[in-house]
Homo-oligomer: A and B are copies of this chain.
Amino acid sequence: SMASILPASNRSMRPDRNTYDGKSFVHVKNPYLDTMDEDILYHLDLGTKTHNLPEMFGDVKFVCVGGSPNRMKAFALFMHKELGPVEGGEDIEDICAGTDRYCMFKTGPVLCISHGMGVPSISIMLHELIKLLHHARCCDVTMIRMGTSGGIGIAPGSVVITDTAVDSFFKPQFEQVILDNVVTRSTELDKELAEELFNCSKKIPNFPALIGHTMCTYDFYEGQGRLDGALCSFSRENKLDYLTRAYKAGVRNIEMESTVFAAMCRLCGLKAFPISINAIRPVTWELL
């Protein structure tokens, strides 16, 4: 089960990470933040004056994020049962019920949040989530993105554990526009963590998992070689050529959030890994 995988990944504390009293805190990289009288996390409907963030979130060790609110609630309920009887009964409430931008559920040390679809949507959530973890003085937090994806040359339903998130040009980088400057950020992930998770997966029967690069695009149709969008200007051959080149570059699946997830977590000192389930859908990417 997921619960048996998670504690394992927490064991491997890297010696090179900044720590304080042996604990690894979240690094907010904004000199203005601590001078602010109040920090409002607009899209989460939370704030430092309206909520006791250390009390609400101080014990968080695992943050699980995914696109769909319903799936994140289902996963939170699953974790809730896995972690054993807790006060509050069998249901869990949406902490962000005051807004319909994102949903958030907490059970014990596990926080589950939806992020919608695409880089800008997850990026707004990550800014506010990372500030939340900072204000709540959380330490030793592991971030996990669990999403669906389109696999390339792999069996439908298999799980891809991402070792590197790459862009549409197969480069391990994320281009962040800051005002009108384009800054390139690394999207390298913790490869030991990926190996560790892969070893866990081998212990579970009938659990098809593999390690590979994950490609992140800004568009689901034209950006991922789909022939069934409202616009399509390339041929079936162009598509196959592109996906074959992606496969040769080590890409095993395509989704829409991994590069900014990897880049932001890396910058803020958070251990992070995306894992994606390769969708079982009419559109799967089977290469010859």
Binding site for B on A (CB under 8 A): 28-33, 36, 39-40, 42, 67-70, 100-101, 116-121, 123-124, 126-128, 130-131, 134, 168-170, 176-180, 183, 217-223, 225, 227-234, 238-239, 242, 245, 256, 264, 267-268, 281-282
A sample of 16 cross-chain residue pairs with beta-carbon separation below 8 angstroms, ordered by A number, consists of: A28-B230, A30-B229, A31-B232, A70-B100, A123-B220, A127-B231, A177-B219, A177-B222, A178-B222, A179-B223, A179-B225, A179-B234, A179-B238, A180-B242, A231-B264, A231-B267
B176 touching A230, Cβ below 8 Å: no
Asked if residues A119 and B120 are in contact (CB atoms below 8 Å), the reply is yes
Q: Is the CB of A268 within 8 A of B29?
A: no
A219, B176: Cβ atoms closer than 8 Å:
yes
B234 and A178 contacting across the interface, CB-CB below 8 Å: yes
Question: Would A119 and B118 count as touching, CB distance under 8 A?
Answer: yes
| B225 touching A131, Cβ below 8 Å | no
Q: Are A120 and B121 in contact (CB under 8 A)?
A: yes
Partner of A30, one of B29, B40, B100, B228: B228
Contact of A127 among B230, B233, B245, B282 (CB under 8 A): B230
In the complex, the answer to whether B40 meets A134 with C-beta atoms within 8 Å is: no
Contacts of A229 in B (CB 8 A): 30, 127, 131
Most B-side CB within 10 Å, residue of A69, A178, A242: A178
Contact partner of A101 among B31, B117, B232, B239, CB < 8 A? B117
Give 10 new A-B contacts, CB below 8 A, not counting A30-B230, A42-B281, A126-B230: A29-B233, A30-B227, A120-B121, A134-B230, A177-B217, A177-B218, A177-B223, A179-B223, A230-B268, A231-B268
Q: A169 to B181: give the CA distance in the assembly, Å.
A: 9
CB of A185 to closest CB in B, whole Å: 10
> Which of chain B's residues have a CB closer than 8 A to the CB of A245?
180
Q: Hey, which chain B residues are within 8 Å of A124, CB to CB?
A: 117-118, 219-221
Which residues in B have their C-beta under 8 angstroms from that of A267?
231
| Chain B proximity of A147: nearest CB distance (Å) | 13
Find out whether the CB atom of B119 lies under 8 angstroms from the CB atom of A117: no
Least Cβ–Cβ distance between A217 and chain B, in angstroms: 7
For A39, the chain B residues whose CB sits under 8 A away are 228
CB of A57, distance to nearest CB on chain B (Å): 15
Is the CB–CB distance between A36 and B231 below 8 Å? no
Given contacts A179-B242, A242-B179, A281-B42, contact A120 B219 (CB under 8 A): yes
Question: Of all chain B residues, which has the CB nearest A179?
Answer: B242
Residue of B nearest to A279 (CB): B42
Which chain B residue lies CB-closest to A134? B230
Q: How far is the CB of A61 from chain B (nearest CB, A)?
A: 19
Write out the residue numbers on chain B whose beta carbons fall within 8 Å of the beta carbon of A29.
Answer: 230-233
Provide the bound-state CA to CA distance between A126 and B179, in Å. 27
